[in-house]
Chain A
């Protein structure tokens, strides 16, 4: 594993402990992970092993209980709440399993949403939204509401929303979990294409077929990295 300064994301001995009703849950224990720009990695593992927890820490949605996390060489532990918000908005694009489009907003407005939190001119926003919607093939549905779209279409819009801010990394949690296999494949195809265009992607999945799309798969078990498999074409070996 390279530890030079070119890593986009650098995790060192990260742990996460949840306390509920005086029960400690060690969701993550001593995670080391590096993600380089342009990399496409998958995180796999059985249910409850800590995949989503890891992703939430990567996305600055949550803070680790211990260890160090550097994003673009900057330690994030000292960041204030609003600095974290700013980084989430500019450096990170989220794709959720349940799409999480906002029902009261139409396709255009949903995609525009992250840009509205940055104080960007509306003309600039329009240009970017149009561009990104064309990229995911949803430009013709701009005025539609999420309830009027199929699941696959909703997820394509969600991908557009993640891309529109030109983030440093796309984080996806089970992006195909709510889709049938045909739509799931289409979304994976889209991510592949984005990867080829240079996007950095970190995707949580338990579907080994889709994990295979990534250059590298990190296998988690009980909060620990138990195995890393690399390179396209190679099959992951379950721990």
Chain B
């Protein structure tokens, strides 16, 4: 048995070596297909499949409040009620993300932080690698200022000094005692490096209608997500009755944490995986075609073997061994390609695009996938030749008549079916790539509503401060802004709490002057953008009516706002909103009325492909001191500078200006607005590039496949071409015959591919913008590209056929 296998293997190796060209091409195609699949799967594995790095990770869930069909952050009083009334959880905790300026005997740097409530570490099952976590005493309001830090920060900034435990570090001007260190890989949120106890004792934490907390929980062993959902649904209903003012229509959403983190990216990854799977299928079809072509040549050999007594099973086993060896070689070479690709992936995956890029490696699961892909591949490309071989008739090889003809007809039909399939798959892929490229193009043509060129941005976070300290700090911000405006090359400078396209937003329910006051849960929501004077000038956002903000619009003057056109039309239609009033509710539930002094053009704040929403711009210096004090670590201050030349020219000058004003203030990011605009399209660009690349690879492979089939067809039918020439066919007639045979097959494939694309379009629909999934132009271009490729691929064999000498007709086959 083993001996027979070894013999098969030896023979298989010899056969492959005998046709080095064939073997090389086959292995190369398989390697491309398997390698690309392995690389993409390594992403899928790292992002979608690998469990979270905590004990019993499936018991960790994320909780959100739901309202008006959406879901979002949680208010502290609601959380406390959930925790007190539910029994499904081992632990439940809330957290608030922010940033702190870490200062000491090193350049100040910003670290992401999380203020977490009791039970947070238990929810994840985090354990310290040095020191301890917080004690009961430390969780209590009024407890000491303590911090847990991440291992990377401990090692990177403090050299892993074990003596740091119990010592204070300065974070945004406050001394915190470091009590413990947790592994960086456990960090949650993943960017956090410092954890502080959250006592939930601020006025914001007492307001049931201020939703700003993240919430996580660990289910009790044996409690399923559904069970927890049901329990929380009951609690939510109870709270709705108890607090109708704030909780009407509010529900609770429970999602497994892994699902919560990866759900948004799953469709894109599935499309990528499908695309790269198609590439492998096309490679398989090509290899199968090569094998089928060879099968004709080996037909007699097989027949002779059969005649000499080799059983059908033995012959099939021989073929399978050969295919297995080919697939194995392809998988090995593919793995090497994938290694290289995985090493290069971090460079081409735009930052922030994937929820967890850290672990993209070739691990056991990826290896298993590669092996599976290799095996499936061998079965796939080996199938058609094996069927052909199993039909070998021991006597057919000896005969010259009908048996041979039907055999070669069967093989030809298989080859043609494979060719049609691969053209169809390539069409499908190209349509997908084409649609994504058109989407990117459409997005690039969207006018964002502001002029991104010549704008430099720099981000700082204000230190922790009491409301009383706010004016002093805002004066500093104004000082820095004024100095930035004076920099050589600067035209104007301003400030903003959040930049357009940053991905973050602040919104609130609004009351409109002269309209009945609706219940909080029914009020319209409006986006709030806090900006300094000159903001509209820096971004060149045209004012349609009224005026911009001025330095006098501060905490001592009456409250004003500039609204966008969308909002003006929404609430006042054709009437002018200038002089009318709107109010947001503050943390004490009292409306703060502000006068509309201007209307500006709409800006695509949320993304070039997203709809414009109602927006109200509010002077930076008219924000409530309590809000600023509370949000200082969470919401950055962005300096925006309009430059005469390239924005990058100011890059080195900006930190100098900030340092001169406050040496302990790190600048956490400097980037031109056009770079940020580019970043906002990173996902679409990545998808378009990758799918486009797969499409082109598929097109090339299909071209090679068509060429191989047609070249074989011409070789096989040389005699027939000769006969036709002898009977009076001109070279042109024969050329047309071959071309039309090839093109007919290719067009059947294109047609099948386009029909498939029509059907599969909805898979991609939610990733498209400015183009429908059935875009006729894309379909036409793809059909054209494939027709041209097919024509090129057919041209060489066709011209060879046209040069066949009629004399071959006289030759005996």
Contacts and interface: CB of A to CB of B under 8 A. Distances in A.
Interface of A: 52, 55-56, 59, 61-62, 81-82, 85-86, 88-90, 94, 96-98, 100, 102-103, 113-114, 117-118, 146-147, 151, 161, 165, 173
A118 B728 contact: yes
B727 interface: yes
Contacts of B809: 61, 94, 96, 100
Given A61-B807, A98-B812, 9 more contacts: A85-B729, A88-B728, A89-B727, A98-B813, A103-B409, A114-B728, A117-B729, A147-B405, A151-B401
Nearest to B408: A103
15 contacts: A52-B810, A55-B810, A61-B807, A61-B810, A85-B728, A85-B729, A85-B730, A89-B728, A94-B809, A97-B812, A100-B719, A103-B405, A146-B405, A165-B728, A173-B810
Contacts of A97: 812
Contact of A88 (B720, B806, B812, B813): B806
Contacts of A146: 405
A173 B726 CA distance: 13
Query: Counting chain B CB atoms within 10 Å of each CB, which of A55, A86, A89 scores highest?
Result: A89
A146 B720 CA distance: 13
A102 B727 CA distance: 12
B728 A56 contact: no
B625 to A, nearest CB: 89
A62 B810 CA distance: 11
A81 B730 CA distance: 9
A81 B806 CA distance: 11
Nearest to B403: A147
Interface in B691-744: 719-720, 723-731, 733
A139 B733 CA distance: 27
Contacts of B812: 97-98
A94 B727 contact: yes
A128 B445 CA distance: 66
Contact of A117 (B401, B730, B806): B730
B447 interface: no
Nearest to A173: B810
A209 B112 CA distance: 105
A59 B726 contact: yes
Query: Counting chain A CB atoms within 10 Å of each CB, which of B402, B728, B809, B813 scores highest?
Result: B728
A118 B728 CA distance: 8
Interface in B790-813: 805-807, 809-810, 812-813
Query: Counting chain A CB atoms within 10 Å of each CB, which of B405, B727, B813 scores highest?
Result: B727
A56 B808 CA distance: 10
Q: Chain B: interface residue count, which band?
A: 20 to 34
B406 A161 contact: no
Nearest to A178: B400
A165 B729 CA distance: 13
B728 to A, nearest CB: 2
A62 to B, nearest CB: 5
A86 B728 contact: yes
Given A98-B812, A103-B409, A88 B727 contact: yes
A117 B733 contact: yes
A80 to B, nearest CB: 11
B728 A90 contact: yes
Interface string B136-168: 000000000000000000000000000000000
A111 to B, nearest CB: 11
Contacts, number: 64
Contacts of B402: 147
Given A103-B405, A147-B402, A117 B728 contact: yes
Nearest to A97: B812
Nearest to A57: B807
Contacts of B730: 82, 85, 117
B810 A117 contact: no
A147 B406 contact: yes
A61 B806 contact: yes
A161 B727 contact: yes
B299 to A, nearest CB: 16
Contacts of B810: 52, 55-56, 61, 96, 173
Nearest to A174: B812
A167 B731 CA distance: 21
A69 to B, nearest CB: 15
B720 A102 contact: yes
A165 to B, nearest CB: 8
Contacts of B723: 96, 100, 102
Contacts of B813: 98
Nearest to B402: A147
A164 to B, nearest CB: 10
A89 B727 CA distance: 5
A166 to B, nearest CB: 13
A113 B807 contact: no
A224 B50 CA distance: 85
A96 B730 CA distance: 20
B726 A88 contact: yes
A114 B729 CA distance: 8
Query: Counting chain A CB atoms within 10 Å of each CB, which of B402, B723, B724 scores highest?
Result: B723
Contacts of B406: 147
Contacts of A161: 727
A117 B727 contact: yes
A203 to B, nearest CB: 14
Contacts of B733: 117
A103 B720 CA distance: 9
Contacts of A81: 731
Closest CB pairs A-B (n = 6)? A89-B728, A117-B728, A114-B727, A100-B723, A61-B807, A147-B402
A113 B720 CA distance: 12
A19 B689 CA distance: 56
A113 B409 contact: no
Nearest to A53: B810
Contact of B727 (A55, A113, A147, A173): A113
Nearest to B725: A85
Nearest to B405: A147
A62 B719 CA distance: 16
Contacts of B725: 85
Contacts of A151: 401
A126 B548 CA distance: 88
A125 to B, nearest CB: 14
Contacts of B726: 59, 61, 88, 94
Contacts of B728: 85-86, 88-90, 114, 117-118, 165
A100 B719 CA distance: 8
Contacts of B807: 56, 61-62
Contacts of A52: 810
A130 B735 CA distance: 29
Contacts of A94: 726-727, 809
Query: Counting chain A CB atoms within 10 Å of each CB, which of B719, B724, B813 scores highest?
Result: B724
B405 A113 contact: no
Nearest to B732: A82
B764 to A, nearest CB: 40
Interface string B16-51: 000000000000000000000000000000000000
A52 B809 CA distance: 11
B713 to A, nearest CB: 11
A96 B807 CA distance: 12
Nearest to A150: B401
B785 to A, nearest CB: 30
A113 B813 CA distance: 20
A117 B723 CA distance: 13
A96 B809 CA distance: 8
Contacts of B731: 81
A11 to B, nearest CB: 18
A55 B806 CA distance: 13
Contacts of B719: 100
Nearest to B404: A147
Nearest to B727: A114
A118 B733 CA distance: 11
A114 B726 CA distance: 9
Contacts of B405: 103, 146-147
